Amino acid sequence: METLSQNRSHGGTQGVYRHAAAATGTDMTFAVFVPDHAPGAKLPVLWYLSGLTCTHANVMEKGEYRAACAKHGVIFIAPDTSPRGDDVPDDEAYDFGKGAGFYLDATQEPWAQHYRMRAYIEDELPALIAERFPADMARQGITGHSMGGHGALTIALRNPARFRSVSAFAPICAPSQVPWGEKAFRRYLGENRDAWAEHDAVALIKGGARLTDLLVDQGSADAFLDEQLGTPLLAAACEAAAIPATIRMQEGYDHSYYFISTFMADHIAWHAARLG
C-alpha cells in the first residue's frame, strides 16, 4: 500500500492511498479518515460509496464528514467507483464504464476482467483496511450516494451480519426498473434479469433480505428522482417487509454535494449510535 497524501484535519488524519488490487487487476485509490484515538484502540468504520462519475476525492473534498467523524470516533472510508487505467475498457457515456462500476462483478466481455467492484468492496478492500488501519471490523456501517447508495443498500442486504447500520443519500433503489440500472445491468451482466436481482435493493427485499433499520435522505428537487431513483418503490418494499425505514424527503434539495454535505453529520451520528 502506497501513501499518496496525509493531512491533519479536525483532530484526525485524512489519508489517500493506492494499492494493486487483485479483484480488478488494476491499481485502486481510496481515502481514509482516522480520528485521533488512544494507542491500541480500535474504532468503528463507516464505508461511503460514491455515485456516477465520482472518485474517492468527491466526498473527501465536498462531503464535510471529518468534524462529525472526529466527534464520534468513526473511521470514514471512501473507495473509488470503478477500476482505472489505460488497459481498462471504457464507454463515452458518463453512466457506464469508468466512474460507473455499479458495485457489481461483470460477467460480460469486455468488462468481466476488470469490473469486479463487488469483490473489491466486499472482500479485498475490507481485508486491507483490517490489516493496515485501527479498524474494529465487528462494528461496520455503510452509506453512499446515488449509484453508491444502490451499492450500500445491496451490499448490506447481501451481508446482513457484517453491517450494524445502513443509510443512503438519494440511492438508486430499484435499478432493474430504471434506465441507469437497466443499461448497466444489461451490458455488465447480460440479458438474464434473474442475475440482476441480487444487485437491486427492492428485488432483494422482496426476495427475503432484511435490514435491522434504514435511514434514507432524498431531495425533493432532485432532477433524477422520478425517472432514475425509485424512492417510492423502496419505501413500499420496506413497509411490506416490516423493515423500520426512515425515508426523509428533504424539501428543495437537489442531487448534489450541497445536499449530501447538509445531512452528512446527521447520518454519521445515526451510524455512530448503532456502532457504539
Q: Which residues are catalytic?
A: 146, 222, 255
Cβ contacts of residue 6 below 8 Å, gap of 6+? 13, 14, 15, 16
The span from the CA of 31 to the CA of 48, in Å, is 10
b/e sequence 158-183, b meaning 16+ C-beta within 10 Å: eeeeebbbbbbbbbbbbbbbbebbeb
Residue at grid coordinates 471490523: 137
Of 82, 66, 244, 215, the closest CA to residue 148 belongs to: 82
Q: Report, in angstroms and rounded to the nearest whole number, the Rg of the chain calculated over CA atoms.
A: 17
202 neighbors 174 (Cβ within 8 angstroms): yes
